[in-house]
Amino acid sequence: GQQLNQSPQSMFIQEGEDVSMNCTSSSIFNTWLWYKQEPGEGPVLLIALYKAGELTSNGRLTAQFGITRKDSFLNISASIPSDVGIYFCAGQPGGSNYKLTFGKGTLLTVNP
């Protein structure tokens, strides 16, 4: 089945630093999404990308849909302590296939 390779697995950074994480797939997706999960809660959608090459921002977060449709990255600028959590990429093939596959996540720790 489809697999998403997400890296890095974890990051430990200082407050104020920028962060970058990415996801690659062995197959094409028509939709890429980024979610954040905090302890004891379900993931929450951060950014959705629907077109190859698309670059979308949400506050300090910026994400891009790779031109090959097989990758995406997420950048967080000027990190703050509340950015702590697990970030997941997710891909959906499209057409009539609505299965959403998630990466294994990037655990982000921000040191104040």
Q: Rule CB under 8 A: which residues touch other proteins?
A: 1, 6, 31, 33, 35, 40-45, 48, 88, 90, 92, 94, 97-105
Q: What angle do CA 60, 105, 38 make, to 5 degrees?
A: 65
Q: How far is the CB of 33 from other proteins (least distance, A)?
A: 5
Nearer to other proteins, 82 or 96 (CB): 96
Nearer to other proteins, 42 or 112 (CB): 42
Name the nearest CA neighbour of 65 among 86, 51, 79, 78.
Answer: 51
Q: Nearest 5°: phi and psi at 66? A: -60, 150
